[in-house]
Each structure stands twice: as structure tokens, then as C-alpha cells.
């Protein structure tokens, strides 16, 4: 149990330390025209392995006029998915697409692609920590 908890902790710390520099964050303005070109946080250009095209936008408002819901239907590699704020689409292990903003007038939206190659290592470490803690609790104190 001691080994399980400490190995999990070591995995979480290692993934956080070595995984942070490997994280890629890119943004793209998505319109009806399919595109693969994105921009990194430093302004340099990049591409993804799939195309993104906007199919539909939906914005709902509260009675006072403030937006209550942003949704965008986006075609990702020949598959139409619905993105909304805080509900990303998982493209692959460690790669997610987030909706960041919507422009109804221009019929465009901004999406953010986040690649975290160490995400599975972090998850494995967290699961090991939880399992070790639960097993120690169930085992009880030594007498």
C-alpha cells in the first residue's frame, strides 16, 4: 500500500514536471470553409491532422439580455460534433477541442485545441493514489 501510494504520487509529480513543457495550446477561427491552420500562443502557425468547419451556431439569452448558452456544431474530420463552453470534444487521447468564443454576426467561432501527451500518466498516478488511500483506510490501523 505504501508503494502504491508513493508510486502514484511520483507519477503525478513526474507528469506535471515533464508534461508541462510538452503541452501544446493552439487557437483557430472556425468558419464554414474547412481549415487546418491554427495559431500557437506565441503567434506562430501550426496545423492539425484534421479539418474543422463550422456548421451551425446557437446562442441563447437570459431575459436580461446576457448570454446563457453558447453552442457550435463543428465538422471535425467528417464528423459533426456539438461544442459548448466547458464541454470539450476529445479528438484523441490527450487532445481536446474547446469552444472559447462565438461571433454570431460574422458566423464564426474560436476554438482552442489542447494537446497534453502526459495526460494518461497523470490519470494513472491519480488512480494509484486513490486506490492506495482507500486500501489503507479499509485495512485500518495496525495494532
Q: Tens of pLDDT along 8-24?
A: 999 999 998 998 888 89
CB 5 within 8 A of CB 132: yes
Residue 25 C-alpha cell reads as 495550446
- 3 state SS of 17: helix
Q: Is the pLDDT of residue 103 over 80?
A: yes
Whole-number average pLDDT of the chain = 92
pLDDT of residue 20: 85
Residue 28 C-alpha cell reads as 483557430
Q: Is the pLDDT of residue 90 over 90?
A: yes
Q: Is the pLDDT of residue 143 over 90?
A: no
pTM: 0.80
Of residues 1 and 25, more confidently modeled: 25
Question: For 128-141, how does the pLDDT look when each residue is reduced to its tens digit (9 = 90+)?
Answer: 999 999 998 898 77
Give the H or E element holding residue 23: none
CB 11 within 8 A of CB 128: yes
Residue 37 C-alpha cell reads as 491552420
Amino acid at each position: 500500500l505504501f508503494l502504491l501510494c508513493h508510486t502514484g504520487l511520483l507519477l503525478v509529480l513526474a507528469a506535471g514536471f515533464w508534461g508541462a513543457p510538452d503541452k501544446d495550446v493552439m487557437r483557430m477561427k472556425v468558419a464554414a470553409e474547412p481549415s487546418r491552420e491554427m495559431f500557437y500562443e506565441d503567434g506562430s502557425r501550426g496545423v492539425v491532422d484534421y479539418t474543422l468547419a463550422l456548421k451551425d451556431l446557437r446562442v441563447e439569452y437570459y431575459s436580461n439580455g446576457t448570454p446563457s448558452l453558447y453552442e457550435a456544431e463543428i465538422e471535425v474530420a467528417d464528423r459533426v460534433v456539438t461544442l459548448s463552453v466547458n464541454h470539450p470534444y476529445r479528438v484523441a487521447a490527450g487532445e481536446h477541442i474547446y469552444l472559447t468564443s462565438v461571433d454570431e454576426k460574422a458566423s464564426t467561432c474560436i476554438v482552442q485545441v489542447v494537446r497534453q501527451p502526459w495526460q494518461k500518466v497523470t490519470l494513472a498516478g491519480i488512480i494509484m493514489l486513490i486506490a492506495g488511500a482507500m486500501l489503507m483506510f479499509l485495512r485500518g490501523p495496525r495494532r
